[in-house]
Amino acid sequence: QQQVKQSPQSLIVQKGGISIINCAYENTAFDYFPWYQQFPGKGPALLIAIRPDVSEKKEGRFTISFNKSAKQFSLHIMDSQPGDSATYFCAGGNSGGYQKVTFGIGTKLQVIP
């Protein structure tokens, strides 16, 4: 059972453009939704996270939008840069439990000059 569905699996954006990655979740026990960034040969690194009582969170060029009723959330990367080229994972977690994270399949983002 894929508890966090992520799309698209790959994305090519021109430098300066907006990258948008969408996710949907099924497990209503999730109460926080982190996004991870992974470069080749590295482990995932926490990028930004949101709780369902907030509809939007912005950190620099990265914004999470959250729609609790639709059980959907998305990551927007504004002014995308070649250095943003990486694989991005959305995820769901339960802060009250063991805090294990359930990841989406990942989106490979390529920002071209």
Contacts of 40 (CB under 8 A, 6+ apart): none
| 53, burial (CB in 10 Å: exposed 0-12, middle 13-18, buried 19+) | exposed
Shortest spacing between CB 98 and other proteins, in angstroms: 5
- At residue 58's C-alpha, the angle toward residues 56 and 59, to 5°, is 155
Distance, in Å, from the CA atom of 35 to the CA atom of 15, rounded to the nearest integer, reads: 21
> Please, which of residues 25-64 interact with other proteins by CB under 8 A?
32, 34, 36, 41-46, 49
Binding characters for other proteins, 80-109, by CB under 8 A (x = yes)? ---------x-x-x-x--xxxxxxxxx---
Cβ distance to other proteins smaller for residue 60 or 97: 97
Q: What is the dihedral of CA 71, 98, 6, 17, to 10 degrees?
A: 90
Binding characters for other proteins, 4-23, by CB under 8 A (x = yes)? x-x--x--------------
Binding site for other proteins (CB under 8 A): 4, 6, 9, 32, 34, 36, 41-46, 49, 89, 91, 93, 95, 98-106
